[in-house]
Each structure stands twice: as structure tokens, then as C-alpha cells.
Amino acid sequence: MNDINTLTRLARADAPTLWRPCHQLSVRPDAFWREWLLDSGSLTERLDRLSAGTFRVNVIDEGWCFAGMRQMRVFSQDKVTQLMWSRRVQLCLYGQPWVAAHSLIPYSSLVGAGRQLVCLKTKPLGRFLFHQSGLQRGEMEVTRLNDEIWGRRSLFYLAKKPILVAEFFWPAMPAALAQLTSQ
């Protein structure tokens, strides 16, 4: 399944799949995927370094939604019926999507610097988040979709307000990276 459209469709922070810390997975990712899935730094910065200036964000959709119980299991109980800002994007290098990402942000998290999160358009969320003082990241959870799409998600806390971010990696990424390094 190297179809990027399928990846983008499946890539949701609230995907109905088993999310677990990596060490609790029954099928563990190989060394290549572990390095990408468990990296606690900015994925945006890492991809940008690989891109030779070609890094771009392609916005698939963004807007307000009401979160259901499935989405809210990762948030505290007072967020269960809250309005959320949902943003789905592709992170592209060399004109091709490499990562599909989805963020869910409770309305109550859009205070202070967080108000800018609904105005990012094609700016990367990671670049914004990792330049905020006091940013905290919760435990990383990992999942595998269709036996070949690895994804990760975690809660970030900006001014102690939660932001759920999930990133799903294009299965052909190892081959694409090998090709880049051989040139």
C-alpha cells in the first residue's frame, strides 16, 4: 500500500486502532521505524533538514468539529463534549507527501499563543509548537494500520492546555531515504 491517498484518508489522531507505547506492541517496528516513531524532537525540523529546501505543508482539511467519545479518550473528561479544531495535512518533500498528520485541539486550548493554531494555513504546526517556551510532550503512542502504515501520536501541552498530534509515515519512506542518501 504505497498509495498516499489511502494513507491520508486513514491518518487520523482518533483512528479506531490500538494505540500503545512502543514497548507494549505485539508487533514491534524495526530499527528504521523505531528511530522515526520514537524521536521526541520536531518531525518538521527533521524532515526540513532532509528536504534541500523542498519541505512544504499541504493542508487537506481544517475546521471545527465536535469530538465524540472515540476522540476524547485521550483528553481529560471535561473535554468530552468540547468543540475541537481539526487539521489534517501532508508533510511533503521533493513534491511528494511523506507524512500524513492530524491534530485535534480543544477550543479551551486556544488561549494565549494557542490562538494562533487556527491560523496556521500552510505553516507547519511543529515549527510553531517547538518554538514555544514551556512546551511539554506526553508519552508517545504508536499504532500500525493495514499491517504497513506506522503512526505515532502524543499530547502536547502548551500553557498546560492539550493538543493531540498524530503523524503517519508513508510506507515507502525507507526506500525514498535510501535513494536520497545514494545520490
Q: Which domains does the chain have, with CATH numbers?
A: 4-182 (3.40.1410.10)
CA–CA distances in Å: residue 179 to residues 120, 175, 176: 32, 6, 5
pLDDT value of position 82: 75
Confidence band, pLDDT 50/70/90 cuts, at residue 70: low
CA angle 147, 40, 98 (to 5 degrees): 45
pLDDT value of position 152: 96
Point out the annotated binding site.
Answer: 87, 125, 167
pLDDT tens digits, 119-141: 999 999 999 999 999 899 999 99
pTM comes to 0.91
CA angle 12, 163, 4 (to 5 degrees): 25
Point out the annotated binding site for substrate.
Answer: 87, 125, 167
pLDDT value of position 1: 46
pLDDT tens digits, 17-61: 888 888 888 788 999 999 999 999 999 999 999 999 999 999 999
